[in-house]
Chains A and B, each alone.
Chain A
Amino acid sequence: MLTVASLAPGALQARLAGDGLRLRTGRFSVRLQAAIPSVAAGIGQLYGDYPLLQDSDFADFHLQLVRPRSPRRWLRPQVRLHCDGYEMFQPMPLQHAFPMFEWGLNWCVSSRAHRYLIVHAAVLERRGRAVILPAPPGSGKSTLTAALSGKGGWRLLSDELTLLELDTGLLVPNPRPISLKNASIDIIRAYVPDAVLSTPVQDTTKGTVAHMRAPGDAVRRAADCAAPAWIVFPHYSAGAATTLEPLARAATFMELAGNSFNYSVLGAAGFHALGRLIEQAAGFRFRYSALDEALDTFARLDES
């Protein structure tokens, strides 16, 4: 199976600038067109392990990043994103092009893939059992995800989009680069020294953003689904003691529904899938400040 890394940088850039680069991320195939150096660099650095597809293959999502001929295209260069022909976001400064690709692909999956209940959460697996980490922005979820997958021995399934397959109740991997913001960039640089991080991009709507390459093992095992065992709502708070409190099931249900992109679209099927998940996976609220203690708590989840 050929991967993106098999393309020399020149060939990679040529595909991106031309008819598009086609690659697979988990169950989805993506065609990306972007004649933008920072995007080619980001893809080269972070997507090397991903299967490369042929031009004649079917692509689920077609993304195009283009530089518009706006009046100030030299002084204030911009980038526009088209997803399957639709422009879903306002144009952004050109230096935000790679993060824009990541957000755009998240958008495509979360707004369309209705075979899954898609929760805005990270999901990781260890010894056959998976933990779901739903969290609004600022809760430290991504830092925790990077630490758990980079150093804690957990396999990354996804850092943003948890895909719960409606028919089977299994969690389907969708491993992609982990997005880190602001302070967590330096924290992870220190905590996971061999992590590969993209060059941070400043002044995005989320602050400074960098992406960490998904571990090669996570990408290679993208076809291995996992059974859910725990749902942990993380809250980072500077100086906080590490605590793990069980949550009532009904409350966990409602909070997960509220953190899902497509719960309201799925109707009764979504209700049943979420109900089954709550039967199988216990819910917890998790407060922490020290990463070592956090990893330790997760290591002992089987014992709870």
Chain B
Amino acid sequence: MKADVPLLLRALRAPQQLASLPPAGWDLLLRQAANANLSATLHDWLAQHGVLAQALPQAREQLSWAAVMARRHRQATYWEIRLIGKALAGLGLPLLLLKGGAYAAAGLPPAAGRLFSDIDILVPEDSLPQVEAALMRHGWVGTHHDHYDQRYYREWMHELPPMMHVLRQTAIDVHHTILPRTAAQRPDAQLLRAAARPVAGDGAPPGTAVLAPLDMVLHSATHLFADGEFDKGLRDLWDLHCLLTHFGARETGFWEALPARARQHQLQRFMFYGLRYSAMLLGTEVPPATMAAMAPDGPAPALLAVMDALFMRALLPHHPSCRGAGAALADFLLYVRGNWLRMPPLRLARHLFHKAFLTPKNSQRAAA
């Protein structure tokens, strides 16, 4: 592997090479991992590959601290899912979990070493009022009370404004589709819900479901590549890599069916990027036939060269040691692109203005 590949990427791609890492190397690796939110994941990854026992003792010690935190997060996530299930029990809807909640409930590889934040669920659009009401009856309250923000979420985005539980201070995001209404691509939410699979087990109350493997992978790629902020980009790419590797090995016909499913949901461009950068940065073993089938879904060569330059910088760990020339510019361009994808140009200008000047300062952010 090239010498200038960041240490964290080398650790994820070839953990056995870490046996010869000097103390200063472990120090840097751990700081890159912490910056990328991958500390506990690294702990589990190294343990899985039999490298943890040979690691520098102080490094192993720190990674074990992160693992304790991740365990607590998992317990809290199972608990939160259970309570959400209770709140929505009377509505006759499956509890369709997305992202981190789904990985935890279904015991999928991205759940390992994860620090969870909000729970995301997917419900039919016409059930939003009942879902919101049921959550409020059980102690969740709305946030973002600014009239503009309310409109932003309800009219233009794909979700209710995030709700927070008054006692537990935990957040839930209720989505009705996986991309904003204002985006050009229109994935079929009804198809997503119809293909969802039930989940059983410790982490899942009755009626819990997750997206079908193809859809889960598409959502992961869309969530990452339709967004504008990549400070947790490597974490999200790692999730995608884990899902692709896991389902690729276990679901018959997964790779063959992926291109068609991507196009069916109009998400082929995001999936193209997902496969491309997961393979380039993390070494995901995508069958050549699938890469070839997705090739027409990429941008024109000139634009692809630009996107490579942007994403290959933005998806690296954001730790200062990995940020070379052009990183800040890449961040900025991708931020604008992210908003562009979500909103048409005229609304974008108004939105950025409003965000910058009119929305009251979030008091938590001010203290940071």
* Residues of chain A whose beta carbon lies under 8 Å from any beta carbon of chain B: 29, 55-60, 62, 84-85, 87, 90, 112-115, 264-267, 269
The 8 A-B pairs at the shortest CB distance, nearest first, are namely A114-B68, A58-B23, A114-B65, A58-B27, A58-B58, A265-B72, A56-B24, A112-B65
- The answer to whether the Cβ of B31 comes within 8 Å of any Cβ in the partner chain is yes
Given the complex of chains A and B, what is the CA–CA distance between A84 and B368 in angstroms? 15
Quick one: given A58-B56, A115-B64, A267-B75, are A87 and B22 in contact (CB under 8 Å)? no
**10 A-B contacts, Cβ less than 8 Å apart?**
A55-B24, A58-B59, A60-B62, A84-B34, A90-B367, A114-B68, A115-B65, A265-B69, A266-B72, A267-B71
What are the interface flags for B22-60 relative to A under an 8 Å C-beta threshold, 1 for contact and 0 otherwise? Answer: 111011000100110000000000000000000010110
CB of A266 within 8 A of CB of B23, answer: no
> Is residue B319 contacting chain A, with contact meaning CB distance below 8 A?
yes
At the interface, is chain A mostly helix, strand, loop or mixed? loop
Q: How far is the CA of A267 from the CA of B367 in the complex (A)?
A: 29
Residues of chain B within 8 A of A84, CB atoms compared: 31, 34
CA distance A301 to B71 in the complex (A): 39
B320 part of interface (Cβ distance < 8 Å): yes
Task: Give the interface of B toward A (CB within 8 A).
Answer: 22-24, 26-27, 31, 34-35, 56, 58-59, 61-62, 64-65, 68-69, 71-72, 75, 319-320, 367-368
Shortest CB distance A89–B (Å): 9
Please name the residue on chain B nearest to A166 by beta carbon: B68
What residues of chain B lie closer than 8 Å to A60, measured between beta carbons?
Answer: 58, 62
| A40 → B minimal CB distance (Å) | 23
Q: Is the CB of B58 within 8 A of A29?
A: yes
**Complex interface: chain A residues within 8 A of B35 (CB):** 85
Docked complex Cα distance between A58 and B27 (Å) = 5
List, in ascending order, chain B residues with CB within 8 A of A62's CB: 31
CA gap between A292 and B101 in the complex, in Å: 58
The docked-state distance in angstroms from the alpha carbon of A90 to that of B365 is 11
Across the two chains, which residue of chain A brings its CB closest to B368? Answer: A87
How far is A18 from B230 in the complex, measured between Cα atoms in Å?
Answer: 31
Contact: B34 with A115, CB < 8 Å? no
Which residues on B sit within 8 Å (CB–CB) of A113?
65
Q: What are the residues of chain A within 8 A of B368 when measuring CB–CB? A: 87
Besides the known contacts A85-B320, A115-B61, A269-B68, 13 further A-B residue pairs in the complex with CB atoms under 8 A apart: A56-B24, A57-B23, A57-B24, A58-B26, A62-B31, A85-B31, A85-B319, A87-B368, A113-B65, A115-B68, A265-B72, A266-B72, A267-B75
Residue of A nearest to B319 (CB): A85
Which A residues are in CB contact (< 8 Å) with B59?
58
B58 contacts across to A, CB distance below 8 A: 29, 58, 60
Query: Closest CB-CB distance, B363 to chain A, in whole Å?
Result: 12
Which residue of A58, A85, A114 contacts B69 across the interface (Cβ within 8 Å)? A114
With most chain B CB atoms within 10 A of its CB, the pick from A56, A58, A84 is A58
Write the chain B residue with the least CB distance to A57.
B23
Report the minimum CB–CB distance from A164 to chain B (whole Å): 14
From residue B361, how far is it (CB to closest CB) to chain A in Å?
14
A55 to B26, CA, bound (A): 13
Closest A residue to B35 by beta carbon equals: A85
Q: B320 — nearest CB in chain A belongs to which residue?
A: A85
A62 to B61, CA, bound (A): 16
| B24 lies within 8 A of A265 (CB) | no
Residues of chain B within 8 A of A57, CB atoms compared: 23-24, 27
Chain A residue with Cβ nearest B26: A58
Residues of chain A within 8 A (CB-CB) of B319 are: 85
Residue of B nearest to A62 (CB): B31
> Hey, which chain B residues are within 8 Å of A56, CB to CB?
22-24
Give Cα A114–Cα B59 distance, bound, in whole angstroms.
Answer: 14
Contacts of B34 in A (CB 8 A): 84-85
Smallest beta-carbon distance B198→chain A, Å: 29
Q: Considering residues B68, B71, B319, which has the most beta carbons from chain A within 10 angstroms of its beta carbon?
A: B68
B353 to chain A, nearest CB (A): 24
How many Å lie between the Cα of A57 and that of B72 in the bound state?
A: 31
Roughly how many angstroms separate A264 CA and B169 CA in the complex, as a whole number? Answer: 15
Q: How far is the CA of A29 from the CA of B320 in the complex (A)?
A: 21
Residue of A nearest to B68 (CB): A114
Asked whether A266 lies within 8 Å of B24 as measured between CB atoms, the reply is: no
Residue of A nearest to B59 (CB): A58
A280 to B24 Cα, complex, angstroms: 40
Closest to B56 in A: A58
In the bound assembly, the distance between CA atoms of A194 and B70 in angstroms comes to 46
Measured between C-beta atoms, what is the minimum distance from B321 to chain A in Å? 10
By a CB distance below 8 angstroms, the chain B residues around A87 are: 368
Bound complex: CA A266 to CA B24 (Å)? 29
Nearest to A112 among chain B residues (CB) is B65
Minimum CB–CB distance from B57 to chain A (whole Å) comes to 9
- Determine whether the beta carbon of B24 is less than 8 Å from that of A58: yes
Q: How far is the CB of A92 from chain B (nearest CB, A)?
A: 13
The answer on a CB contact under 8 Å between B27 and A59 is yes
How long is the Cα–Cα vector from A207 to B93 in the complex, in angstroms? 56
Give the shortest distance, in Å, between B175 (CB) and chain A (any CB).
29
CB distance from B77 to the nearest CB of A (A): 13
Residues of A within 8 A of B64 (CB): 114-115
Cα-based distance from A90 to B64 in the complex (angstroms): 29
Q: Which residues of B contact A85 (CB under 8 A)?
A: 31, 34-35, 319-320
Expressed in whole angstroms, the Cα–Cα distance for A113 and B64 within the complex equals 9
Residues of B within 8 A of A269 (CB): 68
| A267 near B65: Cβ-Cβ < 8 Å | no
Chain A residues with CB below 8 A from B27, complex form:
57-59
Instruction: Give the distance to chain B from A15, nearest Cβ to Cβ, in Å.
Output: 16
How far is A62 from B62 in the complex, measured between Cα atoms in Å?
13
* Cα separation A114 to B64 with both chains bound (whole Å): 8
